[in-house]
Amino acid sequence: MGMGTSNFVIRWINFLTMLLAIAVIIFGVWMSTHHDSCRRSLTFPVLGLAAFIFVISIIGFLGALKNNPVLLWIYLIMLCIILVAILVFTVLAFIVTNNGSGHYVPGLRYKEYELQDFSSWFLKQLNNTQNWKRLKSCLVKSDDCNNLSKKYKTLNQYKSAKLTPIEAGCCRPPSDSNKDCKLYKNSQATKCYNCDSCKAGVAQFMKTEWRVVAIFNVILFVVLDSKRIKHIKQPIYRARELGSS
């Protein structure tokens, strides 16, 4: 592949990557303004990653456009750094979210979750008093539990509903008799927010979100790795030759 063709490919790949990063940033901003504070915090890592990819794409685009070996080397180094970071995060995400699958209860369509089924990392984070105090304040402000009585008018409708992990764990006492049943109160500020079943529901929600991000990272890793060396080595060497001539 000639230098002109390789530079052309790099420019267009990074131009398309910039557009993708901008789209992710816009989506992240939209998510941060249309969700409660619990879910809103999950958009910040996505925004940071998109912004970093945007900066890398600009450097790669300008390096290929100007045949600048310094920019191309910076582009390559930053690309390697983000690839390593994505790989490490993805591996850890799959390890942390490996446990916890929930169980069905006869007569109910939704699953119930037990805190001890999740990884020790989740247990440590959710049993931390300060962490749970912050998460609980988010849950109280959200509409997860407040809207259930409006959506399901009868007990049969409630039992046949496919509740989310947070709705099943935080808005009602668990089906099995345990200490969580004594903690439940039918008030907006209390519900089952102090229950282990609620922490398990939050853990399942976080697990699902982390899995989505991890799968997205795998796809992103493959895309970025495929262009890491293939279309950049020749322009770097050729640009260096032009600079020394």
Domain range summary for the chain, segments of one domain joined by +:
3-98+210-244, 103-205
- The CA distance from 105 to 146, in Å, is 23
Q: Judge contact between 13 and 53, C-beta under 8 A.
A: no
Query: Which contiguous run of DSSP H or E holds residue 112?
Result: strand 111-112
Q: What's residue 5's pLDDT?
A: 52
- The CA distance from 121 to 186, in Å, is 31
> What pTM, to 2 d.p., does this model score?
0.72
Residue 197 corresponds to which amino acid?
A: S
- The CA distance from 53 to 20, in Å, is 9
pLDDT tens figures, 38-54: 556 656 767 777 788 88
pLDDT tens figures, 131-170: 898 888 888 877 778 888 788 877 788 778 888 898 989 9
Q: What's residue 200's pLDDT?
A: 92
- The CA distance from 72 to 56, in Å, is 10
Asked whether residue 242 carries a pLDDT value surpassing 60, the answer given is no
Q: What is the largest CA-CA distance in the chain?
A: 82
- C-alpha pair distances (Å), 183 with each of 61, 113, 135, 147, 214: 58, 17, 17, 21, 35
Q: Judge contact between 177 and 199, C-beta under 8 A.
A: no
Asked whether residue 208 carries a pLDDT value surpassing 80, the answer given is yes
Q: What's residue 195's pLDDT?
A: 92
Which residue shows structure tokens 């935080």? 170
Residue 227 has φ and ψ, to the nearest 5°, of: -110, 5
**pLDDT-based confidence at 2, cuts 50/70/90?**
very low
Look at 92 and 177; give whichever has higher pLDDT. Answer: 92
pLDDT tens figures, 186-203: 888 889 999 999 999 999
